[in-house]
Amino acid sequence: MHGDPMMWVAGVRALYLQALHPLAVRAVMQNSDFRRDAWGRLMRTANFVGTTTYGTTEAAERAGARVRRIHAMLSATDPATGRAYAIDAPDLLLWVHCAEIDSYLHVLRRSGYPLTDAQADRYLAEHRVSARLVGLDPAEVPTNRAEMAAYFTEVRPRLAAGADARAVDDFLLRPPTHPLLVPARELLWRRVAQLAYASLPPYAHELYGRPAPAPAAVTRRLRATGAVLRGIPARLRWQLPPKHILRAMARLGPGARPAPYKVGR
């Protein structure tokens, strides 16, 4: 699944969703330079996901330890109360994890990636490992679609689209770029961001206050985009950084190759 090109759309959806938790997004705004180093931030996230997906166990453990070490040194200030809080609080880590993994699963399935309900539950259960790596207790992490749905229902009253969320929204639609690249941003990136936004759940559209097309139209766009991107030869797509798939194939030998047909095995 993580080798599918629709993961880029899913990643942007995750950012939109994560920004709706006031304390989680405040932690990002106070401790990250993503607005000045958007590409670097994106690549660090992609590198972590790639390492935990395609790297060795040792590499994944090191990546997780680094994330936990950085998070343990950081704090943020609650804009409502003025109180400081740790950004590695379990409830914040859980929100970020669930918004991310749910987005990956939702976008890929909705765009036509062949995955049964049982396989979708297995995907969520397997991600208890990545949850542990960032500091969560795996026993507290949703392990199937029903548990994930119950989690979002429980957390929904705590979500809001405040000033920080709207700053993220504006950034995702218009990330800083070189003036010569503005036309490409408008032609390509904005379409990715708009599609990611359209794929959010209805309550997210209500909070952001910006409507989305009808669900059926969004699904058609996701499927059409997935068909186009999946038509690009995998070897060509895998050349994009950070190239974790190619490194894993080189490490494991010529018989190793991520492919959808292996999902059912």
pLDDT digits (tens, 9 = 90+) for 204-261: 999 999 988 899 999 999 999 999 999 999 888 888 888 999 999 999 987 888 776 5
Percentage above 90 pLDDT, the chain:
73
pLDDT at 154: 98
CB 152 within 8 A of CB 45: no
Is the confidence at residue 158, as pLDDT, over 80?
yes
pLDDT digits (tens, 9 = 90+) for 75-99: 999 988 999 999 999 999 999 999 9
pLDDT at 42: 75
pTM of the model: 0.92
pLDDT at 263: 61
User: Which residue shows structure tokens 């669900």?
Assistant: 215
Q: Which band of pLDDT confidence, cut at 50, 70 and 90, is reported for residue 37?
A: low
Chain-centroid distance, C-alpha 157? 22
CB 15 within 8 A of CB 172: yes
Residue in 225, 163, 205 with CA at minimum distance from that of residue 7? 225
Alpha helices in the chain (DSSP H): 7-18, 22-31, 38-54, 57-72, 90-110, 117-126, 128-133, 145-155, 163-173, 182-184, 190-198, 202-208, 215-230, 234-237, 244-252
55/190: higher pLDDT: 55
